[in-house]
Amino acid sequence: MKIIRANLGERSYDIIIGRNLLNSAGKIIRKLNIGKDAFIITNTLIKNKHGQRISNSLKKAGLSVKFRLVPDTEKSKSIKVAFAIIRDISRYDRKRRIFIIALGGGVIGDIAGFVASIYKRGVPYVQVPTTLLAQIDSSIGGKTAVDLMQGKNLVGAFYQPRLILTDLSTLESLSPRQIRAGLSEAIKYGIIKDEALFKFIEKNYSEILKLNNKKMEFLVYRCSNIKAKIIERDEKEEKGIRTILNFGHTLGHAIEAASGFERCNHGEAVALGMLAAIDISKKKGLIAEGLYNRIKNLIKSAGLPLQIKKISILKVLKAHYRDKKFIGGLNRFVLIKGIGKPVIVTNIKLEIIKAALKKLKQPTEKF
């Protein structure tokens, strides 16, 4: 078991990483003294896999348990679903001391965190991420949100959890595609911040994909630590420090949105977004062909897509121009001038973006 402390003043919390932690959830959460009645937001699939274990553990610790299921798609991240949940909580919450548990992947974490942030102007919540992507990325840092037709994550809040309980055993029930999606974000951390991590993934990707315990624990710990340290320095993305986490995300989000959040999952879209970002970095003379190929090679080894399929470039561009990362009409890209050397560049010209996207439409060249 490893513990990372996210130091955010009065909003500080622990990220506890280990195997079979669901069985200790009750004991750990009771110590926080955040309430007596757990309202667990999850989906049917995850409840079937892990619901019994966490529920037993909470009840054993004297806490009451209520499950609220949401559909298992990005489409759950809507205002409509968020408010249906809030209505249910407010009906359930009589003479109780409610806290919320987000049991699931990024979608569950985002919507449950958002609900926690606005119900009664904020009730405590705990993240129990069950996907690799949620464990190393979305559960950490207090970004909560739901989507609008006009764009992803347009409505939300910065609202920190009181604990993140990262049970590595939950990864065993994921599909290989979900593991690869998480690995995409891990590669991102390597690229923007940690060459040793990048090399570790280059060396161990096949064992990671096979869920080797030791490798996976190292990966999750290292990535979680990077994210925690970045958000400590820039909790609300005001200082340009947290911005580097958006590497691959500017076009990634647009690709994901243009795919209707279905054909491409988040990690796959980020992989494509990273490819576009290194292509633009190369064209801007920031990196050489060799590094471009090295990164592309790792994305390929991780089994992530190199090509945008069945998604129109026009749709991607439209989604891109709706992105909230625009500031005063200027787009903003995280590019790199080397591994661990991100640079933020604003106002990249449309032709350059278009060319990078077009390249992703072409069948991949050999390298």
Q: How far is the CB of 236 from a second copy (least distance, A)?
A: 8
Q: From residue 282, give the alpha-carbon distance in Å to each of 78, 105, 238, 311.
A: 37, 34, 28, 24
Q: Please, which residues have CB within 8 angstroms of residue 150's CB and are 6 or more apart in sequence?
A: 322
- Residue 266 a catalytic site member: yes
Residue nearer to a second copy on the CB measure, 93 or 202? 93
Q: How many CA atoms lie within 13 A of 3 on its CB side?
A: 7
- Which residue number, 222 or 266, has a Cβ lying nearer to a second copy? 266
- Tell me: does residue 8 bind a second copy (CB under 8 A): no
- Residue given tokens 């009771």 in the structure block: 30
359 binds a second copy (CB under 8 A): no
With beta carbons less than 8 A apart as the criterion, state whether 176 and 209 touch.
Answer: yes
143 lies in the binding site for a second copy (CB under 8 A): yes
Q: Which of 162, 193, 266, 325 is catalytic?
A: 266
Which x/- pattern over 227-266 shows residues binding a second copy (rule: CB under 8 A)? ---------x------------------------------
Looking at residues 150 to 209 of the shown chain, list those that interact with a second copy (rule: CB under 8 A).
Answer: 150-151, 153-158
The reply on whether position 148 binds a second copy by CB under 8 A is yes
Per-residue mark of binding to a second copy, 300-329 (x: CB under 8 A): ---------------------xx-x-xxxx
**236 is a catalytic site residue:** no
Nearer to a second copy, 83 or 367 (CB): 83
Residue 362: which region, alpha, beta or left (left: phi > 0; alpha: psi -120 to 50)? beta
Q: Which listed residue (152, 162, 185, 225) is catalytic?
A: 185
Q: Is 79 a residue that touches a second copy (CB under 8 A)? A: yes
* Binding-site member from 44, 90, 213, 297 for a second copy (CB under 8 A): 90
Element (H, E) at 153: strand 151-158
> Could you tell me the CA-to-CA distances from 206 to 72, 192, 275, 365 in Å, in that order?
28, 22, 21, 23
Cα separation, 213 vs 168, whole angstroms:
8
Would you call 294 helix, strand, or coil by DSSP?
helix
11 in catalytic set: no
Rounded to an integer, what distance in angstroms lies between the CA atom of residue 197 and that of residue 213?
17
Span interacting with a second copy, options 44-52, 145-153, 200-208, 344-352, rule CB under 8 A: 145-153
Q: Is 11 in the site for a second copy (CB under 8 A)?
A: no
Asked if 359 and 279 touch (Cβ cutoff 8 Å), the reply is yes
341 is catalytic: no
Judged by CB under 8 A, the number of residues near a second copy is 39
Known catalytic membership, residue 121: yes
Count of residues making up the chain:
367
Task: Identify the burial level of 236 via C-beta atoms within 10 angstroms of its C-beta, where 0-12 means exposed, 13-18 middle and 19 or more buried.
Answer: exposed
Provide the minimum distance between the beta carbon of 43 and a second copy in the complex, in angstroms, as a whole number. Answer: 23
Active site residue 237: yes
Contacts to a second copy from residues 91-130, by CB under 8 A = 91, 94-97, 114, 117-122
CB of 151 to a second copy, least distance (A): 7
For 303, the token pair is 């089994």
Is 65 among the residues that bind a second copy (CB under 8 A)? no
**Side chain identity at residue 303, one-letter code:** G
* Contact (Cβ atoms closer than 8 angstroms) between residue 171 and residue 178: no
Query: Is 242 labeled as catalytic in the residue annotation?
Result: yes
| DSSP structure class, residue 6 | E
As given in the structure block, the two tokens for residue 155 are 């409505």
| Residues designated catalytic | 121, 143, 185, 227, 237, 242, 246, 249, 253, 266
* Binding interface with a second copy (CB under 8 A): 36, 79, 83, 86-87, 90-91, 94-97, 114, 117-122, 143-145, 148-151, 153-158, 236, 321-322, 324, 326-329
